[in-house]
Structure 1
């Protein structure tokens, strides 16, 4: 039995669920609307940040992969890890959230062997820390690219300065002198 990787194709949203009764006319778009309309939710915001950076890097035609040890590959083959945080959350807050990013080294997943191999490490060339920096709950809009800031840092700096650290606050990140930029400038920093 050949159980190699399944080739994933880009969906349009018009695909329909199937049923022998043919009474079910649910579309894939309806599922997306149901499952990912909360763009402030941590998981969805993470996917959104990856998509925004992929667009800036010009690699948005490839599909996102869950099992890689990094999030994106640039046109020149650089491996990019995307992290996201926000001051405003969907849930009720008594104050804005503290900005903290995960930088935990992880084991590489080998899809051929179907297992995680080796010692945990940071398998990327760059980290891009995405911050939805808007602080007004009434006007926050993750689709407004002007409400985002991006901090680009070479992974080697994390490896040199914080090799075993699992998280980093925004204030600690800023001490590492990342390059701060807006949407439309990321590609110029990664691949000048």
Structure 2
């Protein structure tokens, strides 16, 4: 009789792709072509979020792959859980005015493949990194120029005290202080680490 663990179909760890891997039956089409199709515009909400998570991973020296269903977006070597939130003035669609900078989804229901969603939304990370892409014109917008990004770091207890599902940029600034440059992000994350 199989054990409970043996009843589950477990995925293999992902194999890193170079982009050169070819699709069968598609002459000359490879994974890089798919990436260009799916992520051609780093201004879209999903792509900007993935990019911000990537930047945080790079800042803390993490080589882990993104896991879609995790309760947090990054983790330091010593187990500090990090949630990454992003916002920008400009969107990939037409807009009558610049977007208001708001960071949403601060609380969420944890998900487990065996038990489903938790009953209550909670703050699921130890540290929250707010990533603000600051360009105000499409001509200037360059998501790869890290001087166009402002970063703010807050520990979970600050968010718990506010008990909000979303925060405006002005609230984040009031709580976190001046923006941090990308070169100072790792130090700010380490300094915000909960003690004890």
For normalisation by structure 1, the TM-score amounts to 0.90
Offset of 1:177 from its aligned partner? 2.8
Instruction: Name 1:79's counterpart in structure 2.
Output: 81
- Structure with greater contact order relative to length (CA < 8 Å, sep ≥ 6): 1
* Alignment size in residue pairs: 185
Structure 1 residue matching 2:110: 3-state secondary structure: strand
| Structure 1 runs, 4 residues or longer, greater than 3 Å off | none
**Contact (CA 8 Å) 1:103, 1:168: kept in 2 or not?**
no
1:149 aligns with 2:150: yes
Structure 2 residue matching 1:180: 3-state secondary structure: coil
**Contact (CA 8 Å) 1:150, 1:181: kept in 2 or not?**
yes
- Structure 2 distance, partners of 1:186, 1:159, is 22
- Structure 1 distance, partners of 2:28, 2:136, is 40
| 1:30 paired residue among 28, 33, 36 | 33
Structure 1 residue matching 2:50: 3-state secondary structure: helix
What do you get for the CA RMSD once the two structures are aligned? 1.6
Offset of 1:90 from its aligned partner? 1.9
Higher strand share: 1
What residue ranges of structure 1 are gaps of 5+ in the alignment? none
Distance 1:58-1:90 versus aligned 2 partners, 3 A rule: same
Distance 1:142-1:125 versus aligned 2 partners, 3 A rule: same
What residue ranges of structure 2 are gaps of 5+ in the alignment? 1-6, 192-196
